[in-house]
Amino acid sequence: MNEKEIIALLPYQEPFLFVDGIDTVSSEGITGHYTFKEDAYFYKGHFINNPITPGVILTECMAQIGLVCLGIYILKTELKKLIKPEIALTSTHVDFYLPVLPNEKVTVVSKKEVFRFNKLKCSVKMFNKNNELVCRGSISGMIKT
């Protein structure tokens, strides 16, 4: 399964798709990237005259790349029969270190910790263009096949 096939199976679309591309993927982990667009809806009110990407959106970006894309890759044989997989986020714990500004490209690096009974738990990190750690944490979810 290639990058385009994985992204095509994501159950998201603009303006809530936070995956531009996948750089590497294996059954043990994934690396992908996204650039936060300056005209994104959430910048209008967060914060006035000082737009910063909300932490919940950073978490969503990490979940889409680091959990959902990886889960789709791991379950590629089963998911080829489906139009869109059903996905449920089950838990997150994320620590934030640096802000992400409009037009900033981030890279998400995820390592599989556990995959059992279609539940995936990953250790996920997000880096900015200077390879500085923006945030990191643990994200878990389930994919229904």
In this structure, what token pair is assigned to residue 93?
A: 């714990």
Phi, psi of 66 (to 5 degrees): -80, -20
**DSSP annotation string for 11-55:** S--TTS----EEEEEETTEEEEEEE--TT-GGGGSSSTTS----H
| Residues, the chain | 145
Point out the catalytic residue in the list 11, 40, 46, 78.
46
DSSP state of 79: H
The question of whether 93 is a catalytic residue gets the answer no
Per the DSSP assignment, residues forming a β-bridge with 33 are: 21, 107
Phi, psi of 60 (to 5 degrees): -60, -40
Known catalytic residues?
A: 46
